[in-house]
């Protein structure tokens, strides 16, 4: 288990960190991947309320610099093989999700 990497601090003082490959808000898992703003269904509302956002992690808007920190840390975590039951379950979940979304089944 790697140390948390700080991505940003929200206006209300909560930390957004990458912990074990997840973007977390105040230590609670928020997202395991980043969505470019161009691909997000609510991009217009996000641009209006958070100018400068380029990516979304769950419900957290990130700037380009913040997204680079998060993505780099998440990629490094994926390179570390986790053979624990939770690590195996996570990889199975990701594979099933990728398979169902690739087939158009949601």
Domain ranges of the chain: 5-81
Over 80: is that where the pLDDT of 85 sits? yes
Element (H, E) at 69: helix 64-79
pLDDT at 106: 47
Output 63-70 pairs: Cβ under 8 A, ≥24 positions apart.
Answer: 66/7, 66/8, 66/16, 67/34, 69/5, 69/7, 69/18, 70/7, 70/18, 70/23, 70/34
Residue with tokens 């769950």: 58
pLDDT tens for each residue of 58-80? 999 999 999 999 999 998 877 76
Pair of tokens at residue 34: 């980043």
Query: On the CB side of 90, how many CA atoms lie within 13 Å of its CA?
Result: 16
């Amino acid at each position: 288990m790697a140390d948390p990497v700080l991505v940003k601090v929200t206006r209300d003082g909560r930390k957004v960190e990458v912990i074990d490959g997840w973007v977390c808000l105040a230590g609670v898992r928020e997202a395991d991947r980043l969505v470019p703003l161009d691909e997000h269904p609510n991009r217009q509302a996000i641009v209006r309320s958070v100018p400068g956002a380029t990516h979304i992690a769950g419900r957290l808007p990130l700037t380009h610099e913040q997204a680079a920190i998060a993505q780099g840390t998440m990629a490094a975590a994926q390179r570390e093989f986790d053979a624990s039951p939770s690590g195996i379950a996570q990889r199975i979940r990701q594979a099933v999700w990728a398979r169902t979304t690739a087939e158009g089944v949601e």
